[in-house]
Structure 1
């Protein structure tokens, strides 16, 4: 997978954390941000990789192993109305900084690698470092770092479980993204509870 070993073997970095999110762009459901702190080799040994490269079943299996071997795992669920509050002001990156800062306080590490939502990762990393007082390395394609890959799996599994619970109540509304006609149809027909919808997305994509 091409993990950047030079980033992981510096002797002064004794504890490494990784941060990633799932659900930044859907019309339905929350944004989930996760942090994982642990040993790179151990995490690689249980099969961590970018969550998008794993089947749902494989993600669940690796998720369970990450919970067993990581030094710290935590996540935060950001509900749609909170996402709306930030995006209505064009502050989606600021949302991730605010909630990631809260999350990092729960899992101590010497440095955190973060999958950057900003096209300029150094800008995002500097802002998050300023907000937390912690050493942050923001990267594009951050899942190359095992801790970030593990966090991507945690965030994805948690969000998928929440979406599955919603589907059990209202039916299969598809992917939850505004590009999915099935999702759009369910939303237009009022079949998805209002509190589960990002209304700012409805306006943006004219749903």
Structure 2
């Protein structure tokens, strides 16, 4: 008879239900039953992920049938922070979707997962483009308009022209057919892929910014208005990377509190 440790390891390596797994139901050892429960839980999560992936593919296929095989998903990262650029990405995915299984709205993934999927997307996408909209433009024309223009720019930077564009709750200036989709990053595989590229690119930018301004913790909060960030602003003032059209930055700039 195999030990509990051996069975636990075998279940960790298994990816489908087999006869030997079914036979474990009669094993009365508590450790075996615990490992079996974990196995079935992992299997259920994998099946849920496969189903969710299939639904995102089907969602995009509806628009491929309408526009053509090359559709671009577009999304942004960084509309809400007090500092740093808003970053947008456009992605055209190929017909072979298996390699993209697990891709989801970037907010639902860990930093490590986002980094891993970003490499997969870049390696297998038909085309992708990333655009950084700087703070100066955000302050000049407002964050909403700056984001829209950045999205349009990321589409324009694609080396392959798409037949249509899918956007997460936005409409942009483009001659291409487009679809504004509420919660698009959760429904569309293409938009989810774009959200990952935008998020990882912006996070990398904020990590670099942290080296220039080490007192602000940009590598931890990415410019959002956390307690840590607000305390740093109160102590060290406003940097050129802060959005002067956002509060409390606006009031601080008017008061002359600039680093």
Q: What TM-score comes out, normalization by structure 2 length?
A: 0.67
User: In the alignment, is the contact (CA less than 8 A) between 1:17 and 1:109 conserved in 2?
Assistant: yes
User: In the alignment, is the contact (CA less than 8 A) between 2:243 and 2:249 conserved in 1?
Assistant: no
Matched, 1:53 2:108: yes
1:16, distance to aligned residue in structure 2 (A): 1.2
Q: Which runs of 5+ in 1 are unaligned?
A: 117-123
How many angstroms apart in 1 are the aligned matches of 2:163 and 2:229? 42
Q: Which runs of 5+ in 2 are unaligned?
A: 1-51, 253-259
Report the counterpart of residue 113 of structure 1 in structure 2.
166
1:3, distance to aligned residue in structure 2 (A): 2.3
User: In the alignment, is the contact (CA less than 8 A) between 2:75 and 2:89 conserved in 1?
Assistant: yes
Report the counterpart of residue 210 of structure 2 in structure 1.
167
Q: Which has the higher contact order (CA 8 A, sep 6+)?
A: 1
Which has the larger Rg? 2
User: In the alignment, is the contact (CA less than 8 A) between 2:83 and 2:224 conserved in 1?
Assistant: yes
Report the counterpart of residue 183 of structure 2 in structure 1.
141
The residue matched to 1:134 in structure 2 has which SS?
coil
How many angstroms apart in 2 are the aligned matches of 1:186 and 1:138? 38
Report the counterpart of residue 104 of structure 1 in structure 2.
155
Q: What TM-score comes out, normalization by structure 1 length?
A: 0.82
1:52, distance to aligned residue in structure 2 (A): 0.8
1:177 paired residue among 224, 234, 241: 224
Report the counterpart of residue 199 of structure 2 in structure 1.
156
**Kindly tell me: are residues 45 and 97 of structure 1, through their superposed partners in 2, closer, same or farther at Cα, counting changes over 3 Å?**
closer
The residue matched to 2:179 in structure 1 has which SS?
strand
How many angstroms apart in 2 are the aligned matches of 1:25 and 1:103? 19
Q: Deviations over 1:81-140 (max 9, x none)?
A: 2111112xxxx3322222222221222111110001xxxxxxx43xx2xx2111100111
**Kindly tell me: are residues 6 and 35 of structure 1, through their superposed partners in 2, closer, same or farther at Cα, counting changes over 3 Å?**
closer
The residue matched to 2:206 in structure 1 has which SS?
helix
Residues 12-31 of structure 1 aligned to structure 2 (within 5 Å): 12=66, 13-31=68-86
Kindly indicate which of the two structures has a greater share of residues assigned to helix.
2
